[in-house]
A and B are shown apart, each in its own frame.
Chain A
């Protein structure tokens, strides 16, 4: 097994689309790294460059100590799980899993042993003679996993492997993948745009936007201290509230537009005295009495999810009134039109530079 390394990696497609604008990062041996980002940000491109399915325009990709830019996919000793599984439709489940081993001239009894072992781990024992067309979606997904693990590769690459499954199966397979990766200790690179998958699976997370890695870090680090407005808005569901404002004259707080009292949380000194963007997650707003409130919100719409309710409203004082989402305990009954007085947990307020979107620290 081996780690992965990206050194100044760029990708420009032949049609001129620049998909990756320079990525530098290292994945440690055995680490589970998730790449998350909106559609079209270049996640698949990055993964496919590691697999050798796309050329690297500039920079270097290393697997272990070796530069692999020029290697054929066959020589990189990695395994990939595709979104549509890409199982060979004319081969049995056994042959699908054995194909890669046969191509590498593994002895027959060794193939039988490894396939049997993988089938055991993935509960595929009874299905080895079937064709992929005769399997359910979840079973196909497991065969695709099996095909990857029998090879005992240096690294696993996953490109949205769960997006074709229904919600329940997705949760189940997510756990299974995590467990399997722990047990095998194989370096893994996993692409998804589902942030729950990203948060739960990742040892480390790469948040990508338009071909750049906006932030790399442990999931909770990123949740607690998003580096940019983009990351702050992308990670966390429902998304963080962004409230523009001005730093108070004495620097002790911020005057949010449309709120007639000062938010008494001091912005970092680097904020200066000008405009500022304040970010507050819906789960960090708490209903309190009018006197204690940092802001008041007129409720527009309530989504009751059972365990909690998502309340969508507008700032009460402001003329144009920015939209605010609040996550409340499900037991609490709120009706549209009601005015909620809300306090903010002081160490959960994020400040960003409104011009370049960078976090202020």
Chain B
């Protein structure tokens, strides 16, 4: 039975939801509509006058090779970040599921990175890979690889991917572990008796049962990689070298606040907004369809 609380007057319930609505209005709806409006404007170089240009900003955006480059980079970055963090998290969760002794300590340690602010995470990796003082850069040099993310675009991209994935592993780990622990032990035992070796059991029984979780996390991770990685990029590479790590969120910032192309930057954020809305809708549809096991 669903339990409902019924208010006799309208006043109290409105008061109770008001803070949330105010926050949403001030920090989301208002800036979003501003961005939407701005994206249709063209401002002069000094920000004195603006002119209504309809969709010109968007047309300019999609015919700008730099923007399309950045889009492609973002796709690579998101796919790699989501793939890496999901893969590592799944592996750790599968291991943690078998650990009995010290399981709590192990889990706590894995969850820690989530509490680290993006910028701090970025700085952390930045130092570890710093070509002159970083431990990992030193190690790589010793292995014969000359790491330098100041000069090499690929190195820089790998650095931001690593830093971004590292932070997300914790979150994915928690969901995967909960998902794994929800799978009845007897299913795995039945599969073992049915002649499936551990690896086969994982792919034919455990992974399919985990796939709703995995799909949910995939969308969350892509959204994360698209939108929540500004701090990491800013702290490690600032989008360089030669724009090789300028992913879409970072480009919104650099074109808008450094390049001062407010209309174009607003159009970019509208595009990003459209992407996240699409992903979210897609996810809700899929999950609604998929619950029936």
18-44 of chain B: CB within 8 A of chain A: none
Is B193 at the interface (CB under 8 A from chain A)? yes
Contact of B189 among A86, A131, A151 (CB under 8 A): A86
Q: Flag if A74 contacts B186 (CB, 8 Å).
A: no
Query: Taking CB as reference atom, which chain B residue is nearest A74?
Result: B195
Q: Flag if B193 contacts A73 (CB, 8 Å).
A: yes
Measured between beta carbons, the chain B residues less than 8 angstroms from A87 are 190
Is A133 at the interface (CB under 8 A from chain B)? yes
Is A230 at the interface (CB under 8 A from chain B)? no
In the assembled complex, the Cα of A78 lies from the Cα of B195 at a distance in Å of 10
Q: Flag if B189 contacts A74 (CB, 8 Å).
A: no
Q: Flag if A86 contacts B186 (CB, 8 Å).
A: yes
Select the stretch in A97-105, A196-204, A259-267, A347-355 that faces chain B. A97-105
Measured between beta carbons, the chain B residues less than 8 angstroms from A88 are 187, 190-191, 205
Measured between beta carbons, the chain A residues less than 8 angstroms from B293 are 89-90, 131, 133
Q: Flag if A90 contacts B186 (CB, 8 Å).
A: no
Is A72 at the interface (CB under 8 A from chain B)? yes
Measured between beta carbons, the chain A residues less than 8 angstroms from B111 are none
A53, A74, A78 — which one has the most chain B CB atoms within 10 A of its CB?
A: A74
166-195 of chain B: CB within 8 A of chain A: 184, 186-187, 189-195
Measured between beta carbons, the chain A residues less than 8 angstroms from B187 are 86, 88-89
Measured between beta carbons, the chain B residues less than 8 angstroms from A99 are 191, 194, 196, 204
In the assembled complex, the Cα of A89 lies from the Cα of B291 at a distance in Å of 12
Is A84 at the interface (CB under 8 A from chain B)? yes
Q: Flag if A53 contacts B189 (CB, 8 Å).
A: yes
Is B292 at the interface (CB under 8 A from chain A)? yes
Q: Flag if A79 contacts B195 (CB, 8 Å).
A: no
- How close is B191's CB to chain A, nearest CB, in angstroms? 7
0/1 string, B268-293, CB within 8 A of A gives 1: 00000000000000000000000011
Measured between beta carbons, the chain A residues less than 8 angstroms from B124 are none
In which size bucket is the chain B interface? 10 to 19
Q: Flag if A103 contacts B200 (CB, 8 Å).
A: yes
Is A80 at the interface (CB under 8 A from chain B)? yes
B186, B193, B208 — which one has the most chain A CB atoms within 10 A of its CB?
A: B193
Q: Flag if B196 contacts A74 (CB, 8 Å).
A: yes
- How close is A152's CB to chain B, nearest CB, in angstroms? 13
- How close is B138's CB to chain A, nearest CB, in angstroms? 43
- How close is B100's CB to chain A, nearest CB, in angstroms? 8
A-B contact count (CB 8 A): 63
Measured between beta carbons, the chain A residues less than 8 angstroms from B184 are 84, 86
Is B197 at the interface (CB under 8 A from chain A)? yes
- How close is B252's CB to chain A, nearest CB, in angstroms? 41
Is B209 at the interface (CB under 8 A from chain A)? yes
Q: Flag if A74 contacts B205 (CB, 8 Å).
A: no
Contact of B192 among A53, A84, A131, A151 (CB under 8 A): A53
In the assembled complex, the Cα of A99 lies from the Cα of B208 at a distance in Å of 14
Is A82 at the interface (CB under 8 A from chain B)? yes
Measured between beta carbons, the chain B residues less than 8 angstroms from A100 are 193-195
Is A51 at the interface (CB under 8 A from chain B)? yes
A52, A78, A88 — which one has the most chain B CB atoms within 10 A of its CB?
A: A88
Query: Taking CB as reference atom, which chain B residue is nearest A78?
Result: B193
Q: Flag if A104 contacts B195 (CB, 8 Å).
A: yes
In the assembled complex, the Cα of A100 lies from the Cα of B192 at a distance in Å of 9
Q: Flag if B209 contacts A74 (CB, 8 Å).
A: no
- How close is A50's CB to chain B, nearest CB, in angstroms? 11
Query: Taking CB as reference atom, which chain A residue is nearest B193?
Result: A73
Q: Flag if B194 contacts A90 (CB, 8 Å).
A: no
Sample of 28 A–B contacts (CB below 8 Å): A51-B189, A51-B193, A52-B192, A53-B189, A72-B192, A72-B197, A73-B189, A73-B193, A74-B192, A74-B193, A74-B197, A78-B193, A80-B189, A80-B190, A80-B193, A84-B186, A86-B189, A86-B190, A88-B191, A88-B205, A89-B293, A99-B191, A100-B194, A103-B195, A131-B293, A133-B292, A147-B190, A151-B194
Given contacts A84-B184, A89-B187, 8 further A-B contacts (CB under 8 A): A51-B193, A53-B193, A80-B190, A84-B186, A100-B194, A100-B195, A103-B200, A151-B194
Q: B interface vs A, CB < 8 Å? A: 184, 186-187, 189-197, 200, 204-205, 208-209, 292-293
